[in-house]
Amino acid sequence: MQTIQIDRLNKHFGKKQVLFDINLSFERNQMVALIGPSGSGKSTLLRHVNGLNIAAEGDIRINGLALLSKGRLSKNVRQQRAKIGFIFQQFNLVNRLSVIDNVLIGALGRLPKWRAYSRTFTEAEKRQALLCLERVGLVDLALQRASTLSGGQQQRVAIAKTLMQQADIILADEPIASLDPESAKIVMNTLQNIHQEDGKTVIVTLHQVDYARRYCPRTVALKQGVVQFDDATTLLSNAFLNQLY
């Protein structure tokens, strides 16, 4: 069963084409690295899977349902996005809120803003948020302000938020690019645990190929908007990587 199916995706920004005829499918329960030099289109590709970018040409299906079809976004984009967690390089937490409140935001799904703001959380949701924080090893920090946490801890809160959201796909765009090696390892271990224990599909863009080798059985490599490699990570050769970067 395919979780994500991308067919003939071509993306232009103005006159500049940045993705060329992308055809990729991701099965349920895979952990995949997306690598390639800066500007190769990794973020743009991930953002299409979440409907944040829209290409004029191509089809994307999520769990069998059209998200993008012939350049048009599905009417059900909100429901489909609810199943997809997105993790950013800069964590994207609300700094002035507590850690647990940041996780609870995950429960809002994709409510329109005017409804989200008037929403109060139930005791059951608060218990659930604490369980999500326990999964990432941060339950003790639940009541602290998000801004007091280290980068690695903030990224784990962002992961807990996707658990609260009950996303079955996690798209992580350079989740460890701003972290020191020790924090990067903890964040990657956390993503891997969630992938393995909950069977989530994880696509993670990475700068360092070492992390792809350590954590991701499959790698997709992009260069100038073209897929150059899509295979088992163990098959990445140094010769290939030298011409990629």
Instruction: In angstroms, give the least distance from the CB of 38 to ligand ADP.
Output: 4
Instruction: In angstroms, give the least distance from the CB of 37 to ligand ADP.
Output: 7
Instruction: In angstroms, give the least distance from the CB of 73 to ligand ADP.
Output: 16
Concatenated DSSP letters of the chain: -EEEEEEEEEEEETTEEEEEEEEEEEETT-EEEEE-STTSSHHHHHHHHTTSS--SEEEEEETTEEEEETTEE-TTHHHHHHTEEEE-TT----TTSBHHHHHHHGGGTT--HHHHTT----HHHHHHHHHHHHHTT-GGGTTSBGGGS-HHHHHHHHHHHHHHTT-SEEEEESTTTTS-HHHHHHHHHHHHHHHHHH--EEEEE-S-HHHHHHH-SEEEEEETTEEEEEEEGGG--HHHHHHH-
Partner in contact with 36, chosen from Mg ion, ligand ADP, none, beta carbon below 5 to 8 Å by kind? ligand ADP
Take residue 244 and report the two structure tokens written for it. Answer: 């990629």
Partner in contact with 85, chosen from ligand ADP, Mg ion, none, beta carbon below 5 to 8 Å by kind? none
Instruction: In angstroms, give the least distance from the CB of 33 to ligand ADP.
Output: 13
The set of residues, in sequence order, having a beta carbon less than 8 Å from that of 108 and lying 6+ positions away, is 116, 119
Complex with Mg ion: residue 86 or 163, whichever CB lies closer: 86
Instruction: In angstroms, give the least distance from the CB of 211 to ligand ADP.
Output: 16
Residue 43 lies near Mg ion (rule: CB under 5 A): yes
Binding residues for ligand ADP (CB under 6 A): 13, 18, 36, 38-44
Partner in contact with 39, chosen from ligand ADP, Mg ion, none, beta carbon below 5 to 8 Å by kind? ligand ADP
Instruction: In angstroms, give the least distance from the CB of 49 to Mg ion.
Output: 14
131 closest CA partner among 111, 109, 106, 94:
106
What x/- string results for residues 13 through 42 when contact with Mg ion is judged by CB under 5 A? Answer: -----------------------------x
Complex with ligand ADP: residue 43 or 162, whichever CB lies closer: 43
Complex with ligand ADP: residue 41 or 175, whichever CB lies closer: 41
Complex with ligand ADP: residue 39 or 199, whichever CB lies closer: 39
Site for Mg ion in 185-244 (CB under 5 A): none
Between the alpha carbon of residue 152 and those of residues 42, 62, 64, 216, the distances in Å are 22, 29, 34, 20
Partner in contact with 155, chosen from Mg ion, ligand ADP, none, beta carbon below 5 to 8 Å by kind? none
Instruction: In angstroms, give the least distance from the CB of 193 to ligand ADP.
Output: 26
Please report, as ranges, the residues that interact with Mg ion according to CB under 5 A.
42-43
